[in-house]
Every structure is written in C-alpha cells, then in structure tokens.
Amino acid sequence: MVKGIKKIRKEVELFDKYFSQALSSKANLLHKITKYIGKNPGKKIRPICVILSAGLLNNLNDKIYRGAVLIELLHTATLIHDDIVDDAQLRRSKFSINTIWKNKIGVLVGDYFLAQGLKLSVQYNDFDILELVSDVVQKIVEGELIQIQKTKRLNLTEKDYYEIISLKTGALFETSFQIGSLGLKINKDEHIKLKKVGLNLGMLFQIKDDILDYTRKSLVSGKSYGNDIKEGKINLPLLLALKKMTFTEKNFTYKVLRSKKTKNSDIVKVFNLIEKYNGLDNAELILNKFSEEAKKLLLTFNKNKYRDIIMSFIDYLNQRKK
C-alpha cells in the first residue's frame, strides 16, 4: 500500500464503494471488463489526492467522493485510450484491454467510463466538478497533440517538455487538489497554493515515470524497458543527455528514435549514453526540486493528519519503484 495511506484506510474504502457503484453494469461484456480492471486497480493516486486535499481543508463529504470517482474514471479512460494509440500490450504487468478485447471494444469501454463519470456529476448537479474536468480533458488532449507533433519532428526542448507534462499529467493532479476545496470559501492565495501543490506532484510523478522507463526490472515497473524510446518519445533523462552528446551520438540516438523496429541492443546503447551523460541523475535532481516545492507550499497550511500524510505521499512518489 502507498506509504501513509493506511492512516486513511476508511476514506479509501469509502471511495472504493462509490467507485464500484459507478461501474456497475447489466451488460455482460462491460461487467466482465470492469471486473478484470477491478482485479488490477492500480494505486488510486489521483483520487487519493482528492481525498487528502479535502482532508487538509476539513472538507470531506459525499461530493468530494463523487469528484474522486470522476477523476479515477477519467484517468482509467485515458489509460485505455493511450494503450490503443500506443499499441501497448501490457498495463500494470497485465494484458491491456485492447490486447484481450481489441481496439474497438477498448475505445467503447474508455468512452463508457468517461460517460459514467459525467452522468454521476450531472445526477447530483456537481457542475463545478464538471467545469474543472472539462478544462482538464482539454489540457490532456492539447498535451498529447503537442507531444505527437514534437515526436514526429524530434525537436523537443526542455520548455516543450515541461509544457507537455504539465498538460498531460500535471493538470489532472492539479484538478484533483482543486476538487478537494470545492464548497469552501478559501482565499485566492490558498486556492493558488493548493493548485501548485497538485501541479508539483504531477510533475514529479511524470519525471519519476520517465526515470523508471530505464529500469532493467521491467516486471517491477509494469512497463517494457525503454518503452519511450520504442515509441520515438524523448523523455527527460534522454533530453538532458542529448544536450551533452557529440554530433555522432546524437545522430545515432535520433536514428534509433525514428526506427519502426527498434532493436533491444540499440536501446541499451542509448541507455548507456544517458548514463554516460548523467541523464538519470540530473532528472532526479529536477524531480527533487518539484518535491521540495510541494512540501514548502504544504507547510503554509494548518497542520493536521492529512498534511502529514501528503508529506509522506510526496516521499513515496519520489522513491517509488513502479
């Protein structure tokens, strides 16, 4: 279990109850697929962010749990669609939905998850949640399109990278923390700080994901080793290393990224270049900056058990192995 989350076991169990209710379906195939997903649910990091944010502000209520459910439904839908776009065979060390049930059903299931979340919000007139989620969906799509464009041209800059991950990953964490404050009259400064905590968590989460892409223990991370390289994507450790590579080394790396059939031996060579130029170590340093910034912002909020748990949660995101 995620570090510190045992202290909010009851809250997480209540979320699980709401989430199960949202996924209930009379359609046999949908029931089978949601049951399959339920056996391998992931770490629930984003709904936990909603719960912890609300707890930090003493604002836990039914509406907050509905917001957490919508966030997890949206996240699950994007993962299913991502696997189809990337032709990914595995998700969390298990076969992806598109591998078992093919792309068409995968698209429909992702759509169903999103529709269920929207329906839940409309049913209870949670239009403020819908407004936030509509905004974040737009950002996720924008981030994905920018990444596709940059991947084609292989002209990614550090500025581009941070813009992409803030849209694709950071925005959903940011929204998760915003939902925790809904219904409260907090001042503008507190609202901005809460958003920044979420954004910093999202940024460090993605950078850690980038670092884990180079772990040799692919069974631990639940991903294929060097998956981003196979997809022609430049992540942060590679981006930082590219800045220091020789002309010949850069050309070789770009050739590997453009290849439609990437050899494992070539991935290892690129990995060796990343190690040679301290790409992983430098990415860790940047990750730590986002971690420290989130903690610094948190200390401006009143101390309670939820603030302490978020502090531990940040350490977990920083040190996780998968």
Is residue 19 in some structural domain?
yes
What domain count does the chain have?
1
Q: Return the pLDDT at 260.
A: 87
CA 156 to CA 234: how far, in whole Å? 7
Helix (H) or strand (E) holding 193: helix 188-212
Return the CATH number at 28: 1.10.600.10
- Report the pLDDT value the prediction gives residue 3, as an integer from 0 to 100: 57
Tell me the whole-structure pTM to 2 decimals.
0.92
Q: Does some domain include residue 87?
A: yes
Q: Within a domain: residue 3?
A: no
For the chain, give the percent of residues with pLDDT over 70: 96
What pLDDT does residue 222 have? 46
Question: Is the separation of the CB atoms in 321 and 214 below 8 Å?
Answer: no
Mean pLDDT of 42-56: 95
Tell me, what's the pLDDT at 216? Answer: 54
Report the distance separating Cα 114 and Cα 109, nearest Å.
9
Confidence of residue 2 (pLDDT cuts 50, 70, 90): low
The answer to whether 21 touches 117, Cβ cutoff 8 Å, is: no
120 is in which domain, residue-wise?
A: 8-319
Quote the CA–CA distance of 107 and 110 in Å, as a whole number.
5
Please name every residue paired with 95 in a beta bridge, in sequence order, or none if there are none: 90
Q: Which residues contact 112 (CB under 8 A, 6 or more apart)?
A: 25, 30
Q: What is the pLDDT of residues 160-216, one digit of tens each?
A: 999 999 999 999 999 999 999 999 988 889 999 999 999 999 999 999 999 999 875
Q: Which residues are registered as beta bridge partners of 137? A: none
Q: Are 179 and 117 in contact (CB under 8 A)?
A: no
Is 245 within a domain?
A: yes
pLDDT at 5: 78
Give residue 248's pLDDT band: very low, low, confident or very high (50, 70, 90): very high
pLDDT of residue 277: 98
- Residue 114, token pair as written in the block: 């999103």
2 occurs within a structural domain: no
Nearest CA to 237 among 270, 203, 192? 270
Token digits of residue 272:
């060796």
Q: How confident is the model at residue 219 (pLDDT cuts 50, 70, 90)?
A: very low
Output the average pLDDT for the chain: 92
Cα 173 from Cα 136, distance rounded (Å): 10
pLDDT of residue 223: 54
Between CA 84 and CA 97 the distance in angstroms is: 9
Is 188 contained in some domain? Answer: yes
pLDDT at 63 over 50: yes
Q: Can you list the positions of beta strands (E) in the chain?
A: 90-91, 94-95
Would you say residue 89 lies in a domain? yes
